[in-house]
Structure 1
Amino acid sequence: MRAIRAIRAIATVTATAIVAVGAAVPASAGHRPTAPGRLVSAEPLPDELRLPGAGTAWRLRYTSTSWSGRATVVSGTLSLPPGRPPRHGWPVVSLAPGFGGTPDACAPSRAGVPPFALPFGQALLAAGYAVAVTDYEGIGTPGESSVVHGPAEAYSAIDIVRAARRLAAVSRVWAAVGYSLGGHAALWAGHLARRYAPELRHTGTVAIAATTQWTAQFAAPPFRDPAAPFSPIVPYMGRTLALTHPGEFRAADWFTPAGLDLVELAGRACVEEMAGTIAGVTNGAALRDPAAAADAFAALLAPHEVPIGRYREPVRLAHGTADTLPAALSEITAGQLAAAGTDVEYTPVPGADHFTVLAAVARATVDWLAEMFTGVPG
């Protein structure tokens, strides 16, 4: 009955659920450029994009595996704590950010970390972790992004750890931490880590305000009611679902002419600009049949629900109780993982919304990571 009440609570979800967050060094000669995790290039990160408290920081490009299964190049950043590294190198946190838009200019390595996320990154550095932040495939590098694609998100988050080890004195021991859409990425990374990168030592996963339970989200009125405000995320789906599901999805089948204009805008605007542009636009103005479109989106994204099973390493979920992306989503996911045998804890963060939750949970995250890394050889 608690799960049923939680699912009903999802009806309060709003349309702004997913919002984020020198000379090049060539890759080493003699390595296959298509092998995942190879360093393609690195350059010092400009001062205005650096995390507070960082020692050395780079913008890097590295090889990974695309949503299509082919080799691809992804960009991101690596920030190290100041001072000398530990004996086995800095332990690594692969920090998967929230979604900020698909154009290259929206990549965290170019746009920087959102102000509300800076204290969180700073806390990780102060605790002695190297912080690797992926831009995700197609954001900051040529090509289109798949956005919601569990394996591709995970590959980007895992391969930046491999690339970091070719660039700096970092350990093979790492944890996946993610926020918003990045929480979805971190959970997928935790699920695939041992199989995809057995040479690394994954110690656990922290997912904060994670975007999960896609089917339940699209069953809620904000995505189905013609009079409800149109979500700034849906135009990006109009682009990416056509990419990942050619022949199955055509934006023109679901979007009105005004909606198609927004799909086109998604190719050159970040989420903040998109949100300003659609102010006052309703689902009915942008979608031909909002309820049918929501069902179509849910069906296509169903394979990318967070994998439910027994994760080998601990999972910690946190969600603000004042988040417009309902905390019930994380509570349901935690319950499913616990039932499957995973060592999982769910922590509601009283009064925190989708933006303030990161600062509110920074201390707890550092404590969880300390437990995950304790006793793990480098």
Structure 2
Amino acid sequence: MHLVPTGLRRAAAIATLSTLTLSNWPTGFAQTQASSNMTTGSAGQMLAIEPLAPAFSLANASKAYAIWYSSTDGTAAGNDQAVQLTTSGAIFLPRGLPPAGGWPVIAWAHGTVGIGDSCAPSRNPRSERDAQYLNNWLKEGYAIVATDYQGLGTPGPHAYLHSRAAAYATLDSLRATLNTKELPLGNKIVIVGQSQGAAAAFATAGFAPDYAPELKILGTIATGTPHSGRPSKDGKIAYRSSPAEQKSTDPSIAYILYIAAVANQSKPRLPAEQVLSEKGLGAMKAAETTCVQQMFDVVKKEQLSWSNTFKSDFMSYYAQPFSKGQFPTLKIATPVFFGIGGADRDAPTKFQQDLAEQSCEAGTVVEAHTYPGMDHSQTVNSSFPNSRLFARKLFNGEKIAGNCVAKQEMLSLR
């Protein structure tokens, strides 16, 4: 672990950061990297770092950097020789002098932004919701390390909702930044994620003990976590099952179109024409390059519903891609905070509550809060008053009691 010097030496470290560019790495890396995404060496090494464009920074950040680092291909794990890829991301440092030992770290796992390279968060301004949320974490005195995920902003397909790929990208971003001596970061980490990123965060906590045991992961904060829920008595997962829901325009179809687009290009390929209508195929083509907010607009403009987008059971057809999103374990070694929107339709409230209950049953210390009336997006910032206290306790070394025993409290507490 890199220990930041104290006093005047710490101030000197800040001065070093102010001039940190690509003096040790090739300039223009993002524009000049080879079309192949494979790299040599071990995972978790910093390949390039440069100041992040001001428009892509955060108001409460003293410094912001774009990074490129080596990461293990999570989609190829299990092979005798793991493939190393280049993955991109960003770092945001809070204002002031770092404490002895370096800034405590929030590992940010972002929600769905799209699957095209142009959608990578480090290449764009953060959404208003995310900017508010991340600025709040910076204000608390935490540095933020934010991966773009495998294949998002770098060559190769984005491994959308692939739990192992997201976990490796997150863990390797932490390794790379902690191994960069010019960055005053401490090895005290809380993983935080929303939606796609909540699944990534929970998976990262599960993979961390085996994949990156040197990282001191203190806990996890997940809001809007996708989960299949508990099967019904007939063994099926109910989703948008009523006739009215089937025929209504539903923006969340955008997420399934991203899954379809990735599966349509994967090896082996899952032909989208087997499950999507003509209307759905046209929208899927748009999903290949269209970022999520604009994709919601496409769904609304085309009035896409579950009944006119799919011509067969997409849950069964995409069972294999969905299985890649399964968590390695529900027994997490460190405490987990679940923020659940009481009016979440994108990651249904009941399914998230099922995940909290199942995690409790597996032996995880869970602190779960359900926020009445809050939808998928609103829950992010609505949960912050609770999650900031959860994180503060973790960084201070305090015990998290959890609320697994009081089931009703767990499912309704604000």
The bucket for the TM-score relative to the shorter chain is: 0.7 to 0.9
Query: How many residue pairs end up in the alignment?
Result: 349
Q: Distance in 2 between matches of 1:162 and 1:59?
A: 15
State the structure with more CA Rg: 2
Deviation of residue 23 (structure 1)?
A: 5.3
Q: Distance in 1 between matches of 2:207 and 2:25?
A: 26
1:320 lines up with 2:354 in the alignment: no
Q: Distance in 2 between matches of 1:283 and 1:302?
A: 21
1:221 aligns with 240
Deviation of residue 117 (structure 1)?
A: 1.8
1:177-326 map, 5 Å? 177-213=192-228, 219-221=238-240, 227-229=247-249, 231-244=253-266, 246-247=268-269, 249-279=270-300, 280-289=303-312, 292-324=313-345, 325-326=347-348
311-320 or 348-357, which deviates more:
348-357
DSSP 3-state at the match of 2:76: coil
1:330 lines up with 2:362 in the alignment: no
2:16 aligns with none
Q: Distance in 2 between matches of 1:319 and 1:254?
A: 31
TM-score (norm 1): 0.85
Instruction: Return 5+ residue gaps in structure 2 as ranges.
Output: 1-19, 27-38, 78-82, 399-414
Q: Distance in 2 between matches of 1:205 and 1:331?
A: 16
Q: Distance in 2 between matches of 1:205 and 1:270?
A: 27
2:12 aligns with none
DSSP 3-state at the match of 1:357: helix
Classify 1:58/1:374 alpha carbon distance in 2 versus 1 (closer, same or farther; 3 Å): same
Q: Distance in 1 between matches of 2:164 and 2:322?
A: 12
DSSP 3-state at the match of 1:232: helix
1:284-307 deviations in Å (ceiling 9; x for gaps): 333222xx2222223541352234
TM-score (norm 2): 0.78
Deviation of residue 190 (structure 1)?
A: 0.5
DSSP 3-state at the match of 2:249: coil
Residue type matched to 2:203 in 1?
W
Deviation of residue 145 (structure 1)?
A: 0.6
Q: Distance in 1 between matches of 2:321 and 2:116?
A: 22
Q: Distance in 2 between matches of 1:369 and 1:151?
A: 24
DSSP 3-state at the match of 1:305: coil
Deviation of residue 257 (structure 1)?
A: 3.0
Residue type matched to 2:187 in 1?
R
**Alpha-carbon contact 2:103-2:142 (below 8 Å) kept:** yes
Q: Distance in 2 between matches of 1:222 and 1:272?
A: 25
Higher relative contact order (CA 8 A, sep 6+): 1
**Alpha-carbon contact 1:254-1:288 (below 8 Å) kept:** yes
Q: Distance in 1 between matches of 2:260 and 2:24?
A: 36
Q: Residue 52 of structure 2 is aligned with which of 45, 48, 58? A: 45
The CA RMSD measured in Å over matched residues stands at: 2.4
**Alpha-carbon contact 1:190-1:311 (below 8 Å) kept:** yes
269-278 or 306-315, which deviates more:
306-315
1:8 aligns with none
Deviation of residue 243 (structure 1)?
A: 4.3
Q: Distance in 1 between matches of 2:242 and 2:263?
A: 17
Q: Residue 140 of structure 2 is aligned with which of 127, 130, 150? A: 127
DSSP 3-state at the match of 2:383: helix
